[in-house]
Structure 1
Amino acid sequence: MIEVRNFTKRYGDFVAVDDLSFTIGEGEIFGFIGPNGAGKSTTIRFLATLLRPSSGEGYIAGHSVVDDPMAVRKLIGFMPDDFGVYDGMKVWEFLDFFAVAYKIPRGSRKKIIAEVLELLDLTHKRDDYVNGLSKGMKQRLCLAKTLVHDPPVLILDEPASGLDPRARAEMKALLSELRSMGKTILVSSHILPELADFVTSIGIIERGKLLAAGSVQEIQRTLRSHRRLQIRVTDPDLAQAEAILRADSKVRDITSYDHTLTAEVDGGDTEMARLLQHLVGSGVGVQSFSEVEMTLDEVFMTVTKGIVN
């Protein structure tokens, strides 16, 4: 649904984004991660047809961002990182304004606005003035206006920026609900906990270059050759389990805490199965045996160098 091919943006001698390429499949939530100044907003503005590239191309559902921007605008809902509201305008009037801009027929607008207000839990704010809304409600309203024309693709730049913890949790729930409705979502952030538990894939950008893209698990496998196992055993068997692991040539860096052993293991699923079989076959009471995935924070810290433009 979203494809970026060799996108580059220069401002004189300064290269804001350098030869960026990635794809996002239909129905994915793609987390676009990087520090401030990494090139996230530049890339997003390009995909939203608001910025022409120095070179490269982008496609939304097969339509060229460069050559067919009007078709692209019908397919996307764009939520910028900073937006204003109009003084003296009520919530429903704000949404009606954007519905008119998207050329939604007069006879359909009232029903569509009511549905969007219900989806975003804003029905009770319908007649409130937009400049009197809280930060969280304004964020909801901005997301609501991106949905009035029912776009299949959402491009959201820091949608939870400045929100309190409850509002951030509610925003994540909304995005998950939109994905369940079939939307493809690109969401950027420099705050990793906002993305960790609901994105389906990520792209990590630093100094205008894409350093990694894919699922967290796929990226993890490219970053380290070993697997991290966490094995919980019954108390009497802890010493025996540790001795078995230390004697195994594929196991390294064992730590023990509260009846749980954590071990770094070279190899794939076959090695994991062999170790489990060995422990059980030796009479060790194994209560749990699982792989510990790298967190999004660990992936980010491993891939990036902490350099900004």
Structure 2
Amino acid sequence: MRPAIDIRSLRVDYGDFVAVDDLTLTVPPGEVFGLVGPNGAGKTSTFRVITTLMEPTYGEVILDGVDVFEDLETARRIIGYMPDLAPVPSDLKVQEFLEFHAAAYGLGNRAQRRDRVAECLEEVALTDQRDKWCKQLSRGQTQRVVLAKTLLHRPRVLVLDEPASGLDPLARRDLRSALRRLAATGATVFISSHILSELAEMCTSLCVMNRGKLLASGTAEEVRHQLGTNERILTANLLCKPGEAREWLASHASVHDLQVEGHQIVFGFKGDDDAQADLMEGLIRLGVRLRSFEEKRSSFEDILVEVAENNRRS
């Protein structure tokens, strides 16, 4: 199966500044794929090239088998682009706004356009808002109307720039459900967001960019591993006095910042899942009675904060 998005050796320069530096990335169809990174990582420039809004310094972008720069019109029919904070007219109703864009796309006769508008409104769960004035919509409803507009011509690749920006938790949940339904139909969703916890939940896979370069890609767990962040905080809750367990743990090079509070031992641990399992097994063999063993791993947001802080230090 050919990739939905195939980016090869992409570079974008603004004078002497390199915004995107030799980016190579492949996204299969049916994915909700996240693009994350700190400000200045190259996300916006990448999106602008993919959506044909600018030409790169060099490189290739192929969407569903179509070279974006060799067949621009066909590529644009494949793409559905939803920019951050896309405006909607205040003097049109939702139905009118979508029918206007359906006509601009040349989607059949009036009856066919109305049917397609109804399908897209149902897809984003806004059928009951079709006769509402756009100016009366909430932020979340506005975002979903713009998503419905983006879906009108049945794009095979959707590029969404910060679609969850400013949405409340309920609106983000509705948007997440809509994107998952789209991916289930075979569409590919390429999405950027600064709401990192939401991206980790929303996306089937993602990549991290920094200073124009691709740092890691894959599932959230694979990205965490590729970035070398095996650090975690472990808490051992004991049914016995912690003295012997504390001394045994402190002797391990992978254990640091060990603290004891009553029958609870909290410590940092640097190691993989097998090493953690060995640690638990060692405590049990020592005769330590464990009531529970809890783990807190670095969140995806922690990873991005670390990347941004490394930017400042360098």
Question: Which bracket does the TM-score occupy, shorter chain normalised?
Answer: 0.7 to 0.9
Q: How many Å apart are 1:200 and its aligned residue? A: 3.0
Match in the other structure for 1:162: 166
Contact 1:36 1:190 in 2 (8 A): no
The aligned residue for residue 62 of structure 2 is: 59
Gaps of 5+ in 1: none
One-letter amino acid matched to 1:190: H
- C-alpha displacement of 1:116: 1.6
Q: Which residue in 2 is equivalent to 1:189?
A: 193
Does the Cα contact within 8 Å between 2:139 and 2:167 map onto a contact in 1? yes
- C-alpha change, 1:25 and 1:293, in structure 2 (3 Å) is farther
Give the deviation of 1:155 after TM superposition: 0.7
CA separation of 1:287/1:179 partners in 2, compared to 1, >3 Å: closer, same or farther?
A: farther
Q: What is the alpha-carbon distance in structure 1 between the residues aligned to residue 38 and residue 147 of structure 2?
A: 23
Partner of 2:19: 16
Amino acid at match of 1:209: K
Q: Provide closer, same or farther for how the CA distance between residues 279 and 104 of structure 1 changes in structure 2, counting only shifts above 3 A.
A: same
Give 1:149 deviation, angstroms.
Answer: 2.6
| CA RMSD of superposed structures (Å) | 2.8
- Alignment match, 2:49: 46
CA deviation vs aligned residue, 1:117-144 (integer Å, no higher than 9, x gap): 1221211211122234232221111011
Query: What is the identity, as a one-letter code, of the residue corresponding to 1:129?
Result: W
The residue type equivalent to 1:71 in the other structure is T
Following the alignment from structure 2 to structure 1, what is the Cα–Cα distance between the partners of residues 81 and 215? Answer: 25
Choose which of 201, 206, 210 in structure 2 pairs with 1:206.
210
TM-score by length of 1: 0.85
- Render the CA deviation track for 1:85-116: whole Å, top value 9, x for unaligned: 23533211222223233333235333322222
CA distance in 2 between partners of 1:193 and 1:249 (Å): 31
Correspondences of 1:141-290 after superposition (within 5 Å): 141-224=145-228, 226-228=230-232, 230-236=234-240, 238-256=242-260, 259-265=263-269, 267-289=271-293
| Maintained 8 Å contact 2:101/2:149 | yes
Contact 1:91 1:128 in 2 (8 A): yes
The partner residue of 1:119 within 123, 143, 154 is 123
Residue identity in the other structure for 1:218: E
Secondary structure, aligned partner of 2:69: coil
SS at match of 1:300: helix
Residues 216 and 227, structure 2, Cα contact 8 Å, conserved in 1: no
Change (3 A) 1:287 1:5: farther
Asked whether the 8 Å contact 1:228–1:262 carries over to 2, the reply is no
TM-score (norm 2): 0.83
Deviation, structure 1 residue 290: 5.5
Partner of 1:84: 87
Secondary structure of 1:195's counterpart equals helix
Residues 181 and 288 of structure 1: is their aligned pair in 2 closer, same or farther, counting only changes over 3 Å?
farther
Find the aligned partners of 1:289 and 1:181 in 2 and give their Cα distance.
41
The verdict on how the C-alpha distance between 1:261 and 1:63 changes in structure 2, with shifts beyond 3 A counting, is: farther
Q: Distance in 1 between matches of 2:266 and 2:169?
A: 32
Give the 3 Å change call, closer, same or farther, for CA 271–161 of structure 1 in structure 2.
closer
Distance 1:109 1:268, change over 3 A: same
For residues 232 and 178 of structure 1, the distance between their equivalents in structure 2, rounded to whole angstroms, comes to: 43
AA at the equivalent of 2:63: I
Q: Which residue of 2 aligns with 1:100?
A: 103
Contact 1:34–1:40 (Cα < 8 Å) also in 2 = yes
Report the CA distance shift for 1:229/1:192 in structure 2 as closer, same or farther (over 3 A): closer
Q: For residues 275 and 164 of structure 1, do their structure 2 counterparts lie closer, same or farther at Cα, with a shift above 3 Å needed?
A: closer
Identity fraction in percent: 41
Q: Does 1:128 align with 2:132?
A: yes
Matched to 2:166, the amino acid is G
User: How far, CA to CA, are the matches of 1:190 and 1:144 in structure 2?
Assistant: 22
Kindly tell me the number of residue pairs found equivalent between the two proteins. Answer: 307
1:233, distance to aligned residue in structure 2 (A): 2.8
